[in-house]
Amino acid sequence: MNHPILMATLLLAPFVGFLINGLRYKRHSANLAGVIATTAVVISFISAILLVVDLVGLPPETRVISVKFFEWISVASLKINAGFVLDPVSAIMILVITGVGSLIHLFSIGYMHHDAGAAKYFAYLNLFLFNMLILVLGDSLPVMFVGWEGVGLCSYLLIGFWFTDDQKAAAGMKAFVTNRVGDAAFLLGMFILFLSFGTLTFSEINQLAPTDPTLAWMNPVTLGTLFLFIGATGKSAQIPLYVWLPDAMAGPTPVSALIHAATMVTAGVYMIVRLNPLFLAAPNTMMIIAIIGALTVLLGATIGMTQWDIKKVLAYSTVSQLGYMFLACGVGAFGAAMFHLMTHAFFKALMFLGSGSVIHAMHEEQDIRKMGGLKKYLPITHWTFFFGWVAIIGLPPFAGFFSKDEILAFAFFSPLGHEALWAVGALGATLTAFYMTRLMALTFWGKSRVPKDTHPHESPPTMSIPLIVLGVLSIVGGWIGIPHVIGAILPGHPENFLEHWLHHSIKPIPGLTPFDVTTEWVLMGVSVTLAICSAFVAYHMYVQAPQKPEKVAKAIGPVYKVIYNKYFVDEAYFAGIINPLVKASKGLWYYIDVNFIDKTTYVISDVVRGGGSLVRSLQNGNIQVYAMYISLGLVATLLFLLVR
């Protein structure tokens, strides 16, 4: 089959699903809607596979399939096509998106079957996939931006899916607005790039990207990348724009899995990877990215340790893991970032779906203090969740281990990296192990704290099958990127397949020397050990000595309070930005608009009116007085004529 048709199928299948479900949503039963939506995504998935197969068949140097549908915007030198390009990077993405997307759709059939708005839900979900595919396939920044905003929009719709709840609606809005801040920066980034490069197509930008890095700040490359990165922080929930993601958990849980864990939030990372030659040319930006990434790792992890809401924990975990990806990008390890993106998609989607299964079983209960000991009620969920857990805390040979390890290694070895970054990453891994174990412990293990009237039950097969598939992927997903040091000692010497695959798409880090094998082993050992220790500590604290956490919390008092309250960032934003803005706006309206401008015009009109009423006394309606004026005028005129 030819590529345009495949590409069109890939893109439009979800869109058609959206239209079918969206236009007739009142008349569809939940199941039918689900089936339609899932079918659409599966069709998309199949096309994606077919496309990728074709892509694999191409020689590595020219491994690009690009399709141009029509000219979208064409003004002067700005020519933007509705063009889509499939290359190794986007290939990974579409597989993940459509693959994980199919699973999540399948899961949703079960999860949403009792919801009246299920068809609407599936419509949104399909629309999301459509936009996400545009985002990853777009051949230029504006086309990517279409998807970029589109996914934000769907995220908004899905977060506010249960719109009758004011908080959920507010959460949706928060997500959209926060994203918009990023988008504005994204736009600026685009402008800067366009004005200096004259194009917005990825391939051309990457070609034109200067080869020698520049250290200047006011350089278009630095500025442009910086603004793009700010855009990425919005979409990918990095400091300072991460605040929307935890709130986004207001949406249905499969949505959290798909959008807020697996796909959308990784868009920022994907964008940076897409433009890696450009970013490499801006070391300053790279440094900022790395620092922000590292800080986000810590921030997410610390907050995650204190949360009681199962989804909030996962959300902060997502923030933290995304931090890893940015850390990887920041140190130039774009391949590692993509790798972690992929593995994270598997295990985090898995964990979210698992949590969804739990919530479903607990009748919409999300507080882990009311769970515990669910292992026996939900065996499948527990075991799949378990694999996700081992993957995320980085136990070899599960998926998370390889990707996280690669990131840490690059952080240490890359000329753009730093030992401190590695240390932060390792600390993050430790904390991750702690809070994930805590989550496991509180939810599945230990004594049951389930309220009497709740009877947890295992989910239907539509929900468990995706869990199992993702569980398997969490186990094996990491094996495509086995590091050289490990590959060297394994039987058959499996090479780093992913690195090979991305070889032509990713520019090597300038000045990168091959890793020192010993050091790498040591680092790997340290991080794994730390993680295991921390996991045990957590297990001890939450399963064996359930009163301990409280004591610890009391012991560190204020610190705990700060962390528990998410560092008061939301409050700070409200107090520092939003409230002043609203107040200022009201002030502007009241003082400037109503009182100043209008009053000024009133003054003018009063002056005119006053003058008028002064003159009006002359015009008192008495005709004879008018006649007198006329005659006086005549006298004056004649006098003038005579005297002259």
Partner 1 sequence: MTPDVFLFWFLALTTVLAALGVIISANPIYSVLSLVMTMVGVAAIFVTLGAYFLAGVQLIVYAGAVLVLFVMVLMLFDLKHEIHAFTRGPVTGAIKIAAVGLLGGMIVGAIALSANSLMKTENNGIQTVIEGDSTKALGKLLFSQYLFGFEALGVLLLVVAVGAVALARAKGGTHAQH
Partner 2 sequence: MLLSAVVFLPMLFALIVALWPNQRTLRPLALGFALIEFALSLGIFYYFDPSSSALQLVERYPWIERFGITYFFGIDGISLWLVILTTFLTPVALLGAWKSIEERVRGFLACVFILEAAMLGTFLAMDAVFFYLFWELSLVPMYFMIGIWGGARRIYATVKFFIFTMVGSVLMLVAIIYMMFLTAEAFGTMSASLLDFYRLDIPFISGQFLSPQTLMFSAFALAFAIKVPVFPLHTWLPDAHVEAPTPGSVILAGVMLKMGTYGFMRWVMPVFPEATVHYAWFFMLIGVIGIIYGALVAMVQPDIKKLVAYSSVSHMGYILIGLFALNEFGVTGGLYQMLNHGISTGALFLLVGMIYERTHSREISRYGGLAGVLPFFTIAFFIVTLSSIAVPMTNGFIGEFLILLGAFQANSVWGYFAVSGVVLGAVYMLWMFKRVFFGPQGELVKDEHHPLHDLSVREMFVLAPMIVLVFWMGLYPSFFLNYSKASLDHFVKNQAHYELAIQSGKEVAQ
Partner 3 sequence: MLSTDLFTQIGLGHYLVLSALLFCCGMAGVLLRRNAIVLLMSIELMLNAVNVSFVAFSRYLGQQEGQIMVFFVMTIAAAEAAVGLALAVSIFKRFREVNIRYFEHLKG
What's 73's DSSP letter?
E
Q: How far is the CB of 614 from partner 3 (least distance, A)?
A: 19
Q: How far is the CB of 611 from partner 1 (least distance, A)?
A: 24
Q: Which stretch binds partner 3 (CB under 8 A): 62-70, 234-242, 605-613, 622-630?
A: 622-630
Q: Contacts with partner 3: how many residues (CB under 8 A)?
A: 8
Using the minimum distance from each CB to partner 3, give the nearer residue, 76 or 623.
623
Using the minimum distance from each CB to partner 2, give the nearer residue, 124 or 501.
124
Q: Does 624 contact partner 1 by CB under 8 A?
A: yes
Using the minimum distance from each CB to partner 1, give the nearer residue, 58 or 632.
632
Long-range contacts (CB closer than 8 Å, 24 or more residues apart) made by 6-10:
6/47, 6/50, 6/51, 6/54, 7/47, 7/51, 7/65, 7/67, 7/84, 7/86, 7/137, 8/67, 8/69, 9/43, 9/44, 9/47, 10/44, 10/47, 10/48, 10/51, 10/94, 10/98, 10/133, 10/137
CA dist., res. 614 & res. 607, Å (int) = 10
By the criterion CB under 8 A, which residues form the site for partner 2?
26, 70-78, 142, 145-146, 148-150, 153, 156, 160, 163-166, 169-170, 172-173, 176-177, 180-181, 183-185, 187-188, 190-192, 194-195, 581-582, 584-586, 588-589, 592-593, 597-598, 601, 605
CA dist., res. 431 & res. 304, Å (int) = 9
In angstroms, what CA-CA distances link 430 with 119, 165, 273, 351, 404? 42, 37, 27, 19, 12
Binding site partner of 620, from partner 1, partner 2, partner 3, none, Cβ cut-off 5-8 A by kind: partner 3
CA dist., res. 617 & res. 329, Å (int) = 81
Beta partners for residue 65, in sequence order: 86
Closest CA to 90 of 43, 138, 46: 138
Q: How far is the CB of 644 from partner 3 (least distance, A)?
A: 20
Using the minimum distance from each CB to partner 3, give the nearer residue, 518 or 624.
624
Q: Which stretch binds partner 1 (CB under 8 A): 323-331, 396-404, 408-416, 620-628?
A: 620-628
Secondary structure element (H or E) that encloses residue 199, with its range: none
Q: Is 485 exposed, middle or buried, given 0-12, 13-18 or 19+ CB atoms closer than 10 A?
A: middle
Using the minimum distance from each CB to partner 3, give the nearer residue, 53 or 634.
634
**In sequence order, which residues have a C-beta less than 8 Å from that of residue 185 and are 6 or more positions away?**
227, 228, 230, 231, 234
Q: Does 552 contact partner 1 by CB under 8 A?
A: no
Using the minimum distance from each CB to partner 1, give the nearer residue, 613 or 620.
620
Judged by CB under 8 A, the residue of 612, 631, 636, 637 near partner 3 is 631
Q: How far is the CB of 636 from partner 3 (least distance, A)?
A: 15
Binding site partner of 623, from partner 2, partner 1, partner 3, none, Cβ cut-off 5-8 A by kind: partner 3
Binding site partner of 74, from partner 2, partner 1, partner 3, none, Cβ cut-off 5-8 A by kind: partner 2
Classify the C-alpha dihedral 626-630-635-640 as positive or negative.
positive
Binding site partner of 145, from partner 1, partner 3, partner 2, none, Cβ cut-off 5-8 A by kind: partner 2
Q: How far is the CB of 586 from partner 1 (least distance, A)?
A: 48
Secondary structure element (H or E) that encloses residue 632, with its range: helix 623-643
Q: Which stretch binds partner 1 (CB under 8 A): 179-187, 217-225, 227-235, 633-641?
A: 633-641
Q: Contacts with partner 1: how many residues (CB under 8 A)?
A: 11
Binding mask 572-611 for partner 1 (x = CB under 8 A): ----------------------------------------
Question: In sequence order, what DSSP letters do the residues of 322-383 get, joined into one string?
Answer: HHHHHHHHHTT-HHHHHHHHHHHHHHHHHHHHHHHHHHHHTTS--BGGG---GGGT-HHHHH
CA dist., res. 38 & res. 22, Å (int) = 14
Using the minimum distance from each CB to partner 1, give the nearer residue, 76 or 642.
642
Using the minimum distance from each CB to partner 2, give the nearer residue, 571 or 593.
593
Query: What residues make contact with partner 1 under the rule CB under 8 A?
Result: 624-625, 628, 631-632, 634-635, 638-639, 641-642
Binding site for partner 3 (CB under 8 A): 620-624, 627-628, 631
